[in-house]
Amino acid sequence: MTGGALDGVVVISLEQAVAAPYCSSRLADAGARVIKIERAEGDFARRYDADVNGQSAYFVWLNRGKESVCLDIKAADDLALLLALIDGADVFVQNLLPGAAARAGLGGDVLRARNPRLITCDISGYGESGPYADMKAYDLLVQAESGLASITGTPDGPARVGVSVSDIGTGMYAYAAILEALFERERSGRGRAIAVSLFDAMADWMNVPYLQYAYAGKAPQRIGLHHATIAPYGGYACRDGSIVIAVQNEREWATFCAEILGDPSLAIDGRFATNVRRVEHRAELDAVIGAALARIDHADLTSRLRAAAIAHGNVNDVAGLARHPQLRTVAVETAAGPVALIAPPARTSDSERALGRVPEIGEHTDAVRREFLVRNANA
């Protein structure tokens, strides 16, 4: 895909699974030429499922707009081709097993010595050093290791967040760091080494629970569809369904008491007068709210909440998301026909961004080899 802000930027990505492909897919969305290096059998994420016209939902989502080149980096000729591609690239991304890239001669220091303008981005599970550096890491493992699972779920037990947040968060951080490095290179003329780990990404997201523990000696408890430190902020039953309500300040709490609960005195009740007190008396608070909402139909409740400017939402399932009136989708071409993906969240003032085609395994191998041979012949 061309015409984006990164038009002319060449990215070589030796990638698999989710984190690195997420990062490189966003670079491709922005107009970069992304050459995805795969084994002969392809990125194993191609086989996570076969739910999208026989293709993997993960792969279709994360690999639009890329070229697929199959190489065996243990074969001398293929490694030489890969090195030549990296020598002419702006960005190199890799998320191989710990130490594998360096052992193959693809360590960032080596590559930047050959190409000083190159930006290298190493994505790992736990970083390049420390006692966990050589450990394999996948999304669920990192959700557990980082403490995220301990604050997710219900009092009955911890839970995994239902999407791969460790991978996705890491891919976001890598993408942002690469954009910073490209901007800095415009000033300095030199590339930069970037290292992002799944553990560091999730640890950063855990800063509020960490600070609460480190400075107040407490950690959030698992409370299901409620907020650990704000109340009322969570899911409640009404007469014919359920709803999520979020009260953010004392002004909203007073409005909620008067216009939704029908009891203005609750706003100055000593148990509920401040957010801290409401959290301390959460069980009593939820009992009061639950009794009041149980008498109100969902349609009436949502109408009253909207009129009172109290934040609220429906507890949708995936089918509800698919029908949601705010949902935007965009068509992406695949070998099995067009697929409607959920559109990227950032919109620009010029136009809706078109997304590139999802490649088949090794679809561009021969073309890239020919391009390299022509380039060498003309050098």
Judged against a pLDDT cut of 50, whether residue 165 lies above it is answered with yes
Residue 123's pLDDT is what?
96
Q: What is the pLDDT of residues 355-374, one digit of tens each?
A: 999 999 999 999 999 988 77
> How large is the C-alpha radius of gyration of the chain?
25
Statement: residue 210 has pLDDT above 90:
yes
In terms of Cα–Cα distance, which of 111, 158, 102, 104 is closest to 134? 102
Amino acid 379: pLDDT: 59
Q: pLDDT (tens digit, 9 = 90+) per residue, 328-351?
A: 999 999 999 999 999 989 888 776
pTM: 0.89
Q: Which of 81, 91, 93 is nearest to 115 (CA)?
A: 91
DSSP 8-state code for residue 222: P
Both tokens assigned to 332: 């992406």
**Residue 162: Cβ within 10 Å count:** 8
Domains in the chain, please, with CATH? Answer: 10-206+358-378 (3.40.50.10540), 233-314 (3.30.1540.10)
Three-state DSSP state, 330: strand
Q: Decide if pLDDT at 71 tops 60.
A: yes
Q: Which amino acid is at 221?
A: Q
Write down the catalytic residue from 226, 227, 281, 312.
227
The whole-angstrom separation of Cα 217 and Cα 213 is 4
Structure confidence by residue, pLDDT tens digits, 105-133: 999 999 999 999 999 999 999 998 899 99
Mean pLDDT score, 142-167: 94
**Residues 52 and 60: beta-carbon distance below 8 Å:** yes
Angle between helices 365-378 and 76-87 (to 10 degrees): 70
The pairing of strands 10-14 and 33-38 is parallel
Pairing state of beta strands 33-38 and 157-158? unpaired
Cis ω before 232 (30° cut-off from 0): yes
Q: Taking residues 259-266, report their average pLDDT.
A: 96
DSSP classification of residue 25: H
Quote the pLDDT of residue 176: 98
220 within 8 A of 209, measured Cβ to Cβ: yes
For the stretch 219-258, pLDDT in tens is 888 989 899 889 999 999 999 999 999 999 999 999 999 9
pLDDT at 378: 65
Point out which residues pair with 122 in neighbouring strands: 94, 195
- Kindly state the tokens that stand for 163: 């999407």
Would you say 305 and 238 are in contact if contact means Cβ atoms under 8 Å apart? no
User: Annotated catalytic, 312?
Assistant: no
Between the alpha carbon of residue 330 and those of residues 54, 129, 179, 202, 344, the distances in Å are: 19, 41, 24, 29, 8
Residues paired with 11 in a beta bridge: 34, 91
pLDDT value, residue 261:
96
Half-sphere exposure of 335 (CA within 13 A, CB side): 12
